[in-house]
Structure 1
Amino acid sequence: MARHPDLIVDRRQEIDRLHGLLATGRPHLVLMSGRRRVGKTYLLSRAWKEQPAFYFTASETTPEQNRQALLTAFAEWSGQPVRTEDYPTWRTVFRLLLDHDSPTPLVVTIDEFQYLGESASELDAIASELNAAWEMRRPERGIVFVLAGSAVRTLERLNDGGSPLYGRFSWQCRLRPFDYGYAGSLAGFDDVRDRAYAYGLFGGTPRYLAAIDPRRSIAENAIDLLLRPDGEVRELIRTALLQEQGLRDIPKYVAILRAIGRGRTELNEIAQDTGLTADNSLREKLQRLIALDYVATSRNLGARPKEAYRYRIADPAARFFYDSVAPLESVLATQDPGAVWRAHIAPNLDAYMGLVFEGMVRDGYYRLQSTRSLPLVKEWGRWEGRDRNREPLEIDIASVLMDGRVLTGAIKWNRTPIEVGVHTRHLAMIDRLAESGVSWAHEARKPTSPLLYVAAGGFTDRFRQAALATRDEVHLWTLDDLYSPMS
């Protein structure tokens, strides 16, 4: 499936919001941030077709060189002569942009805005210059002035209290990776299971997905792009942290991700695996990784306030790298990546997809909510632990609904229809939790509390009959259901 070079997958909400602001006929400041390779530049350089749009990307150089480069680019775009010596300050530069005489509403985008200043104080000073130019009285007209960048926290500070631009932004947007549905669309495979594998291996980052050749198999793409030492996507994932502005002690952050990838999900486990101390410094590093969308946290439904969080790698591409590729780096450096795939990765791929599939189901629930009139969720969750007899149990879906009911169920990445035993065991686990004093389990036992079972490969007739006879509301989904809005 060939991709059109100007194809924009998803981002409809962001485009509509930008166009809506421009249509008001008034000036608007917009702040857009997001990790590298998430698609900011692609979106902002293609969002406008019918009106003048000046786009400039700052470089990691001196403010003076960026000022000169911006003025040169504006002169080429506008066709008007611009002498750099006539615009010696950032305030005069911003006034030039804002006062540009165009017959239609104007769009100005400064991407990687953080590079205009070499320090936080210098960037604040430049923001103050923009604010001064913005506040000058001029005839009202439609202008959308976008500040964008990949230094997420630096950009977001521009709208914090005390910033010169605080309260000036009409819209602040954090661009995030695609969910499984849009990732599958960009990957380009026709088969929904291949789309799911593509998401599990390459995640939702547009740059990674764009490297996939849908004419080749998932295995061939993974071997060439993720396993080979010079694999394009492997190198992008491996160096991702190095690209994060202001992130120090990179080896420690990498060690944390490697530990989580090996299944160390609690603070003390991560500390032991990395050799770091389980103190505030480690917690701060984890919080930084969470803020950058590399790591996510979870706790059991109904957890007490002091109960420890579990950490997991948020993006499936990074999860696959640190779970399956990084531990085999020495092997992959000396031996055939195809043989490594067949011997070590392919046999475990479906087990790996189990956790990925849980995240897909959560996102799929929200995708399908309106079209299938699903009950609103107050808190999506799961439960993992032991009952009062110290017997382990795990419930894939344990979510409190807005109406007070509790939605529970199971998620299976299967190839053949699941048998009725999955249903009976699930009900038994709810009973065990209720008898162990877990408060939400009492509500979950009631006939009015719905069940949700998601099985990639479907259900047997006995399963369907037993489940539907158990509760007033039962949802049975396959992989096709999760992809149905995108099919």
Structure 2
Amino acid sequence: MAFYDREEELAALERAFDEPGHDVVVLYGRRRVGKTELLKRFLADRDGVYYLAAQEAEQRQREKFVERIATHFGDRLPALTGWDDAFDYLGERLVETGDPTVVAIDEFPYLVEENDSVPSYLQGFVDEQLAKTDSMLVLCGSSISVMESEVLGHDSPLYGRRTAQFDLQPFGFSEALEAIDYPFEAALTSFSVTGGTPLYLTLFDYDQSLETNVREQVLTPTAVLYNEPEFLLRSELRNPARYMSILEAIASGRTTPNDIAGATGVETGPLSKYLQTLRQLRLVERVVPVTALGQSSKRSRYRVADEFLRFWFRFVGPNRSSIEAAPDAVYGQTIAPNLADHAAETFERVCQEAVWAAVRDGTLGPYGAVGTWWYGEEEIDVVGLSPEDDRILFGECKWTNEPVGPALVESLRAKASAVRWGPPDRTEQFALFSRSGFTDGAEAAIDESWELFELERLDGLLRTESSD
């Protein structure tokens, strides 16, 4: 897989390794986000040992780990009977050689699954041996729940030992643009299908049309992406069926707890626990009006956190029987007519990302929080807040085939007056984002407090971000 972006994380790893003293680095995140590629790039030009754990018996795991260490140091394979001996052997060799070395254990949760005492053995290794060296231990894992409890949690023997941690996230749209070789509009629609997970981005062939990629990479039963969400859930959950029904409900537009409960048949009490688990796994986000951030708000909504998962649970999961029989019909009759509507929600997220980019380049703001707002039937796609100087931003996003006219200008002004935030003399700024540009009437209806963003301007703004 090609290595995209991650320059910031790579530079941080390099800085930590180059500084005096030992390091314990925790690298974790959802599967497919590029953790292993980052590790391999980091290890490419420095002395290191990379060990990839597997789901196999503890003894075999330990034998392979010791074999990797012995091979690295040019030793004959020692006979060791426990993880404590294995880490003692590693520590002795690091101290004896004195050379700064990276020891990376990938998919560390597999070791813990077979022996939950491994973190305790590692604690002794870190405190008694690694601390005497300039070497680095990297613990990497895809099971977020295990990494957060067994490595980062207060009750973990390793708590307080880490010197750095990286919670690797999927790419935002500006970062993904480096990989998506389509014109901007098609790139955004493609991103609404793949999301920002590096593997999913690189599975698409951008010399082919988006339709061809969806048919071949998502709607083909033998393709990786066809069963990917189910694989992800099974890797974290023993019984994912209920969670899949919840994700399908959210992806289809049931975003409030009551609506989700009605669609799935799960009572609201148990539902809150399921939703909390999905949030911990980074599969679902709880959203409140941006004006309610930091408060206990009952006006919460849930959304699928990843664009590919949202696409899959809307179009693929509910139609797998039909896909097996007639994938072309599913694309033509179900996906194609609704793809623009699906991409419109992605566009709103991209516009919020663009607001942050515009804040950084000085076009807007600055703002300390950016999100959405709603109350009753009223909703505003983008709202930015700057409490320090009582300034607020209102924005609307239109992914339509027609240019935006003055009616949207007046509508946004009216809705803005309903947002209760700040003093009566607050400073108001406005922004409109349009797939198809703006009419002369829209431009005539605004003043200097407004900014208009058509796709060409967004393209320049976000591609500048990705190249910085």
After TM superposition, is the score higher than 0.5? yes
2:447 paired residue among 468, 471, 474: 468
2:112 paired residue among 108, 113, 117: 117
1:26 paired residue among 21, 44, 58: 21
Asked if the contact 1:414–1:456 (Cα under 8 Å) also holds between the matched residues in 2, the reply is yes
| Equivalence for 1:407 | 393
2:197 paired residue among 205, 223, 240: 205
> Is 1:249 aligned with 2:239?
yes
> Is 1:286 aligned with 2:275?
yes
| Equivalence for 2:315 | 324
Alpha-carbon spacing, 1:138–1:56, altered in 2? closer, same or farther (3 Å): closer
Unaligned runs of 5+ residues in structure 2 are: none
Alpha-carbon spacing, 1:252–1:269, altered in 2? closer, same or farther (3 Å): same
Cα distance in 1 for partners of 2:144, 2:273 equals: 16
Cα distance in 2 for partners of 1:232, 1:154 equals: 25
Unaligned runs of 5+ residues in structure 1 are: 387-391
SS of alignment partner, residue 346 of structure 2: helix
| Equivalence for 1:341 | 331
1:103-140 Cα deviation digits (max 9, x unpaired): 75211100111111336xx42x2212111122225785
Cα distance in 1 for partners of 2:147, 2:403 equals: 49
For normalisation by structure 2, the TM-score amounts to 0.91
Task: Show the 5 A alignment for 1:377-416.
Answer: 377-386=367-376, 392-403=377-388, 404-416=390-402
Cα distance in 1 for partners of 2:444, 2:164 equals: 50
Q: Which amino acid aligns with 1:355?
A: E
Asked if the contact 1:290–1:296 (Cα under 8 Å) also holds between the matched residues in 2, the reply is yes
| Equivalence for 2:434 | 455
Asked if the contact 2:53–2:110 (Cα under 8 Å) also holds between the matched residues in 1, the reply is yes
Cα distance in 2 for partners of 1:293, 1:127 equals: 24
2:229 paired residue among 224, 237, 251: 237
Alpha-carbon spacing, 1:139–1:420, altered in 2? closer, same or farther (3 Å): closer
> How far has the Cα of 1:477 moved from its partner?
4.9
Percent of aligned pairs sharing the same letter: 29
Q: Which amino acid aligns with 2:311?
A: F
| Equivalence for 2:421 | 440
Task: Show the 5 A alignment for 1:206-221.
Answer: 206-221=198-213
| Equivalence for 1:46 | 41
Cα distance in 1 for partners of 2:364, 2:77 equals: 58
Cα distance in 2 for partners of 1:138, 1:108 equals: 10
Cα distance in 1 for partners of 2:406, 2:231 equals: 46
1:430 paired residue among 416, 438, 449: 416
1:224 paired residue among 205, 216, 221: 216
> Is 1:302 aligned with 2:283?
no
Asked if the contact 1:266–1:309 (Cα under 8 Å) also holds between the matched residues in 2, the reply is yes
Q: Which one is further off, 323-332 or 61-70?
A: 323-332
Q: Which amino acid aligns with 1:92?
A: D
> How far has the Cα of 1:364 moved from its partner?
2.6
2:6 paired residue among 2, 8, 11: 11
The 4+ residue runs of structure 1 with deviation greater than 4 A are 101-104, 137-140
Asked if the contact 2:215–2:328 (Cα under 8 Å) also holds between the matched residues in 1, the reply is yes
Q: Which amino acid aligns with 1:474?
A: E
SS of alignment partner, residue 88 of structure 1: coil
1:184 paired residue among 171, 177, 189: 177
> How far has the Cα of 1:416 moved from its partner?
4.4
Q: Which amino acid aligns with 2:303?
A: R
> How far has the Cα of 1:417 moved from its partner?
3.0
> How far has the Cα of 1:149 moved from its partner?
0.7
Q: Which amino acid aligns with 1:44?
A: L
Asked if the contact 1:62–1:118 (Cα under 8 Å) also holds between the matched residues in 2, the reply is no
Task: Show the 5 A alignment for 1:78-157.
Answer: 78-83=73-78, 85=79, 87-98=80-91, 99-100=93-94, 104-118=99-113, 122-123=115-116, 125-136=117-128, 140-157=132-149
| Equivalence for 2:341 | 351
1:146-175 Cα deviation digits (max 9, x unpaired): 011111121122222232111110012111
Cα distance in 1 for partners of 2:307, 2:461 equals: 18
Asked if the contact 2:288–2:297 (Cα under 8 Å) also holds between the matched residues in 1, the reply is no
Alpha-carbon spacing, 1:306–1:51, altered in 2? closer, same or farther (3 Å): closer
> How far has the Cα of 1:373 moved from its partner?
5.4
Alpha-carbon spacing, 1:308–1:139, altered in 2? closer, same or farther (3 Å): closer
SS of alignment partner, residue 452 of structure 1: strand
Asked if the contact 2:22–2:131 (Cα under 8 Å) also holds between the matched residues in 1, the reply is no
1:41-88 Cα deviation digits (max 9, x unpaired): 1211222232112100111122221110111222333332222x1x32
1:244-266 Cα deviation digits (max 9, x unpaired): 2xx23311111111111221111
SS of alignment partner, residue 137 of structure 2: strand
Asked if the contact 1:383–1:395 (Cα under 8 Å) also holds between the matched residues in 2, the reply is yes
Asked if the contact 1:52–1:102 (Cα under 8 Å) also holds between the matched residues in 2, the reply is no
Q: Aligned pairs, how many?
A: 458
